[in-house]
Chains A and B, each alone.
Chain A
Amino acid sequence: MLSSKQRQSVYVGIVVLFLASVVMAADLGVKHHEYLPSVDAPGSTLAQTPFQALVPAILGTREIMASLLWIRTDDYFHRGEYRPIIRLVKLITTIDPHQIDVYATGAWHMSYNFMDKRLIREGLEFLADGVKNNPNIYDLWFESGYTHMDKTHDFPAAIRWYKDAITKKTTEGKPAPMYVGFQLAHAYEKAGLIDEAVKQWEVNLERTNEVYNKNQRDFAAMQNHGVAMNNLKMTKWRIGDRRDNASDQADTQLDFTVKRIGPRRLMVEGTINVLDLSRVLVTIRDKNAHQWDDKDIDTRLANQTLEWDSVQVRGGKFKHELKLNVDPADMGRAAEEIYPLKSDEYELSVQFNPRTQAVFIQDRYGWNGEGLTDQRYLKIDPSRAGVVEGKTVPLRYVEKVVTLKKSDIM
């Protein structure tokens, strides 16, 4: 048994320890917010999340819950069931906003795999959300740049994202990989900003040189060094070569016809006097497509119609069937879900843009279309001007647009 003195000491000990625990808890509570987003913080996404997302976030199991949901998402993907994926990836990133691969892969699903052009914007917004939550990691900045480069062909936007990506780090705290600088140079070139592209290849070469000189037996260093050297050389050579070609402007003589071959099926057939393996972009969209710019995703998916395809030219001819009667990804969606066709009028365009052509095609027509013309459909766009050898060169491209009535399609 404890003596009364010992008992007193225990009582004192209890009081002291209790006060110490309260002080420590108050201090830790504040610091712990670093580890867990506050539920009631102003603007907290958690405050608006459904309960199933809130519970793991608070219980301290959000990382595992996010990981397990991600495994489920992957399972859906491999089974070809794409429908639940968007909802799941958004839920996962709400629970754990640092799942970089979920942002990257989720955006890839939206922009690519669902084959619904309206979702590209959704994919880009998802990436932007990921960037906001992981601003110091290069991955999602790079993914945003890549999607603009490859999908929207908005090369100035790609440049902006890549320029930021190059200043960020990997998740291991290392500098962004070399290919980010390479992509930035390619984006400059695609945007027609050739002087900037040369400068970037010079920077890339300098960086690869540095690494290569440290370890000349490193195969990847050697490869990167070779890529930078070759691209710098080729870009400089092309400046002269394409300058010469630009003096002889080719008349593309673009023309095409549109024929309804069935309900929601259009055959676009035409001629264009360009090199074999050039590509024309066939696009169908609502007549007043800009009306969707400020609309939310649900409204857009319910009403907007948007489809395009890049079609190869052979022997001066091209032919493409726009199938607005089937799900392009064969996901079992009704055609009306992807192509609502709710407007009264539509624009169908065929465009030849030199900036989206392969390198050997660009060699003939130039980065900015310096070497092409068209008596009827030439467009000159100073807002997308390039810069070559210090001179500003507006973008020249060829585009014919026809208006279709709903009845022409249905």
Chain B
Amino acid sequence: VNTLVIARNTMGDALRKRVLLVFLLIAVVMLFLSLMLAYFSAREQLVTFKSVAFVVILIFGALISITTSIFLIPNEIEKRTIYSVLSKPVNRWEFFMGKFLGGAFTLLITVFLMMLVMAVVVFMISARPPTTAGDVMGGAQTAVNTADWFARGMRELALVLRGCAVIYFQLFLLTAISTTLSLFLTPTVNFSLTALLFIVGSFQDLLAAWTRRYEFAVTKWLATAFYYVTPHFQDFNIMANLVHPEVPLKVSPVIYAVQVSAYGVVYAMLVLLIGVLSFDQKEV
């Protein structure tokens, strides 16, 4: 209960921050602006919009996640409000987890809002009548009608939902990392290190390729260990399937999305447990 109360207050504080609202506003404006790009066909418009929109949500989501979570605990210490909270019957781990969950809920709301904008635009682009002669001719065979447009729109909406869910769990993990790192590092250093981990985690395939090329056993072993210890942000990248759902995969995209989200939760819990231990012994 204590954790949830702290989480709710943290979320309220975070949502009042101007920087977060500015990021959110820019992201929404960018989503609409990307509609103005030039296209040859409706299919291209959908492909381009989806690829731009998912990256906008990911990048702005990451910015919101990091800028929110790096200040969650340091601000409480700096303003000394942490003393009044910890003097009450509240465990340190409850405080830490409450702060994290507050950040995670804030992120959930912002990602949801961005997803809402994207979903509306994607539905408008995909669920519409044929515009070219080719579409019309092709349509004769498949009886294009309102139900068909609606079904097409719903298929795209399902992709948006799946993509945003996976992005959320990726950012959930990022929030856990920066919240835990905020126990040891100043906000500026924390921002840089978290961003670096995010980029390194997104380069895992390249790291794997390099590790295979090393001759020395020790170097190879260290590189392999580094590969498994660092968070695999790259595995959250399912853009290929979201943008080109027509390309068949050997794995079920839905099951993969669930598995990678579960990985995000497991890794986040691991990081948070380290945070719980550290915060328990931290002098404040």
Chain A residues with a Cβ under 8 A of chain B: 1-2, 7, 10-11, 13-14, 17-18, 20-22, 24-29, 31-32, 34-36, 38-40, 58-64, 66-68, 70-71, 74-75, 78, 96, 98-101, 105, 134, 136-137, 169-175, 177-179, 207-208, 211, 214-215, 218, 220-221, 223-224
Contact = CB atoms under 8 A, between A and B. Distances in A.
B235 A25 contact: yes
9 contacts: A1-B92, A20-B266, A28-B259, A32-B256, A63-B54, A101-B44, A172-B152, A178-B138, A178-B140
A13 B234 contact: no
A18 B231 CA distance: 11
Q: Is the interface of B mostly helix, strand, loop or mixed?
A: helix
A66 B48 CA distance: 9
B248 A136 contact: yes
B270 to A, nearest CB: 4
B218 interface: no
A215 B143 contact: yes
Interface in B239-284: 239-241, 243-244, 246-251, 256, 259-260, 262-263, 266-267, 269-270, 273-274, 276-277, 280
Contacts of B140: 177-178, 208, 211, 218, 220-221, 223-224
Given A34-B249, A60-B234, A179-B134, A21 B267 contact: yes
B143 A221 contact: yes
B105 interface: no
Q: Which 3 A-B residue pairings sit nearest by Cβ, starting from the closest?
A: A177-B138, A60-B237, A220-B140
Contacts of A171: 43, 244, 246
Given A34-B251, A35-B249, A71 B48 contact: yes
Given A101-B41, A101-B44, A136-B246, 13 more contacts: A1-B92, A2-B92, A13-B269, A17-B273, A18-B270, A31-B256, A34-B256, A39-B209, A60-B202, A64-B239, A78-B38, A177-B137, A178-B141
B204 interface: yes
A137 B37 CA distance: 25
A215 B240 CA distance: 37
B52 A67 contact: yes
A70 B136 contact: no
Given A28-B235, A178-B140, A224-B140, A35 B51 contact: no
